């Protein structure tokens, strides 16, 4: 598996296996086990996915060496501030059965519960994450769903700049301003729902590109994101599709086609604006 390098030197496998909505427990455990079996070494999870115990069981069952695995979790909106963030971190660690995390993220920048004190709450949450990072409990720290103004606000108080920003990202919903800002600041961008949660598969235009490159729409989409230096986090509970989603390193989308795909108007975003979400 190819890797991206974070600005602190940590290497992160270039495709991650997403676990959002991978439930119930048996389905999740089997899927994560199979994902590791077919070669995924990067598992993206979060406390709110409510499946960290299953992810942990799959990791233990797989017998993969811990150092060969990259595991992410995220602090949920109701566990924010210095003490609660630390508590949430240790709860995730215990559920996963691990003694450190590779990456820990603030899941959303602006939860409804503290919309009037966003900067202060993010600063306190971040301070806890910085301390855990400096203690060696987390190899890298970052954020998720942050727009430019959230990042700027966080950086006013931060001792350590985020290493990652995980945002919704797929063909037709690219958030280029956020990506440019992150790249200018050495922050790696990860893309959640890179396949538009399955909604991209009806596109005739993408079907034409798939035919042209002798790949599937999923592979065209994931490759397109990688070529834009975005780390995709596809989800699948199907072993063949898991394999297919990793098999994207033997072809290159031309510059001309990248530009044409950039210009496609496909509206498939989830509609979750980080400043407006009702959670
Ligand atoms: P399945 O689990 O049956 O494979 P996203 O990662 O953007 O949220 O999209 C996830 C959705 O895309 C799931 O419904 C998943 O279904 C489907 N999916 C994942 N990989 C592929 C693929 N290679 N071909 C078709 N559908 C896929």
Q: What is the pLDDT along the chain (279 residues), one digit of tens a residue?
A: 899 999 999 999 999 999 998 889 999 999 999 999 999 999 999 999 999 999 999 999 998 999 999 999 999 999 999 999 999 999 999 999 999 999 999 999 999 999 999 999 999 999 999 999 999 999 999 999 999 999 999 999 999 999 999 999 999 999 999 999 999 999 999 999 999 988 899 899 999 999 999 999 999 999 999 999 999 999 999 999 999 999 999 999 999 999 999 999 887 889 899 999 989
Q: 7, 17, 40, 49: which one is catalytic?
A: 49
Total-model pTM: 0.97
CA of 236 to the centre of ligand 1 (A): 5
Q: Do residues 217 and 224 make contact, with C-beta atoms less than 8 angstroms apart?
A: no
CA of 23 to the centre of ligand 1 (A): 14
Residue in 242, 248, 246 with CA at minimum distance from that of residue 58: 242
Output the pLDDT for position 198.
Answer: 87
At residue 72, φ and ψ (nearest 5 deg) are -115, 140
Task: Enumerate long-range contacts of 111-118, CB under 8 Å, 24 or more apart.
Answer: 111/77, 111/78, 111/80, 111/277, 111/279, 112/77, 112/277, 112/278, 112/279, 113/77, 113/78, 114/80, 118/150, 118/153
Interatomic CA distance for residues 277 and 110, integer angstroms = 8
Output the pLDDT for position 14.
Answer: 98
DSSP 8-state secondary structure symbol assigned to residue 65: -
CA of 198 to the centre of ligand 1 (A): 5
Ligand 1 site-directed mutation target among 221, 241, 242, 243, most atoms within 8 Å of CB: 241
Q: Take atom 17 of ligand 1 and give the residue whose Cα is closest.
A: 198
Output the pLDDT for position 28.
Answer: 96
Q: Take atom 15 of ligand 1 and give the residue whose Cα is closest.
A: 236
Interatomic CA distance for residues 20 and 29, integer angstroms = 13
**Is 49 a known active-site residue?**
yes
For the CA of 193, the closest atom of ligand 1 is 7
Output the pLDDT for position 70.
Answer: 98
CA of 252 to the centre of ligand 1 (A): 22
Q: Is 245 in the pocket of ligand 1 (CB under 6 A)?
A: yes
Interatomic CA distance for residues 121 and 215, integer angstroms = 45
Interatomic CA distance for residues 23 and 51, integer angstroms = 7
- 44-88 pLDDT tens trace: 999 999 999 999 999 999 989 999 999 999 999 999 999 999 999
For the CA of 195, the closest atom of ligand 1 is 7
């Amino acid at each position: 598996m190819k890797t991206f390098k974070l600005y602190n030197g940590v290497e992160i496998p270039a495709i991650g296996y997403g676990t959002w909505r991978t439930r119930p427990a048996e389905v999740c455990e089997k899927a994560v086990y199979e994902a590791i079996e077919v070669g995924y070494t990067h598992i993206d999870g979060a406390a709110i996915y409510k499946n960290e115990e299953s992810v942990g069981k799959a990791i233990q069952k797989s017998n993969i060496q811990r150092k060969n695995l990259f595991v992410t979790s995220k602090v949920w909106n109701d566990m924010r501030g210095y003490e609660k963030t630390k508590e949430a971190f240790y709860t995730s660690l215990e559920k996963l059965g691990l003694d450190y995390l590779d990456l820990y993220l603030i899941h959303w920048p602006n939860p409804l519960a503290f919309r009037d004190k966003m900067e202060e709450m993010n600063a306190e949450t971040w301070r806890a994450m910085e301390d855990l990072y400096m203690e060696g409990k987390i190899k890298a720290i970052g954020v998720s769903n942050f727009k430019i103004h959230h990042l700027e606000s966080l950086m006013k108080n931060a001792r350590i700049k985020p290493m990652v920003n995980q945002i919704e990202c797929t063909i037709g919903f690219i958030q280029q301003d956020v990506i440019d800002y992150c790249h200018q600041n050495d922050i790696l961008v990860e893309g959640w729902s890179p396949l538009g949660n399955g909604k991209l598969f009806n596109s005739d235009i993408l079907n034409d590109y798939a035919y042209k490159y002798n790949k599937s729409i999923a592979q065209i989409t994931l490759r397109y994101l990688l070529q834009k230096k975005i780390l995709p986090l596809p989800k699948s509970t199907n072993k063949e599709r898991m394999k297919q989603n990793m098999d994207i390193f033997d072809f290159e989308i031309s510059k001309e086609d990248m530009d044409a795909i950039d210009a496609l108007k496909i509206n498939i975003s989830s509609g979750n604006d980080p400043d407006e979400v009702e959670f």
